[in-house]
């Protein structure tokens, strides 16, 4: 992967996938702000941005609908450092963890980090519940590399979720990401 990032030559650049969700406040604005903040991070470059999907809440259902997206990024950060950076960004964007699966200004989940398999207390990769979550799979399908080991499975599950119509997923807004300029266009 060749990138125009100013990393020391000895640092390896990896591709990772991050899920974003919001259901409090200016949902679309918070998602866009989160992506801009991720892209502005010294060790991360946003490569691709999925469309925005409005999705029914899962788990705790007595809350507003979510907007969900997935982005692919290039990073020189380790998986743990990338996760910790995402958690700091959540706090900066007003994330308060009161209730599991409850309402939130922003949720940033590290789904995949190259083809790394990891099972630690702080982080499991691939994300342990992503294949059961159509609200993750549908936007992930928008951005996952054709060469990724899980691409075919993600494509199949995403198509099945959309065809069933039972998953409460609606295309809400198409997004174009121009990583050279860092600006969104609709």
Which active-site residues does the annotation give?
95, 104, 107, 109
Beta bridge partners of 178: 183
Closest among 14, 159, 27, 8 to 105, alpha carbons compared: 27
Nearest CA-CA partner of 96 in 17, 25, 36: 25
Tokens of 109: 């989940």
Inter-residue contact 32 to 25 (CB < 8 Å): no
At 109, which helix (H) or strand (E)?
strand 107-113
């Amino acid at each position: 992967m060749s990138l125009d990032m100013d990393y020391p030559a000895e640092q390896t650049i990896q591709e990772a996938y991050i899920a974003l969700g919001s259901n409090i406040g200016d949902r679309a604005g918070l998602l866009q702000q989160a992506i801009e903040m991720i892209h502005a991070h010294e060790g991360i470059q946003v490569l691709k941005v999925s469309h925005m999907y409005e999705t029914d809440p899962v788990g705790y259902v007595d809350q507003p609908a979510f907007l969900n997206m997935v982005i692919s990024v290039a990073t020189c950060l380790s998986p743990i450092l990338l996760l910790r950076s995402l958690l700091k960004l959540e706090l900066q964007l007003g994330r308060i963890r009161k209730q599991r699966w409850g309402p939130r200004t922003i949720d940033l989940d590290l789904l995949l980090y190259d083809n790394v398999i990891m099972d630690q207390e702080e982080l499991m990769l691939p994300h342990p519940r992503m294949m059961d979550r159509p609200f993750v799979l549908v936007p992930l399908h928008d951005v996952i590399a054709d060469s990724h080991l899980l691409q075919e499975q993600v494509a199949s599950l995403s198509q099945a979720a959309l065809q069933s119509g039972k998953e409460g997923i609606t295309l809400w807004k198409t997004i174009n990401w121009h990583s050279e300029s860092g600006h969104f266009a609709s």
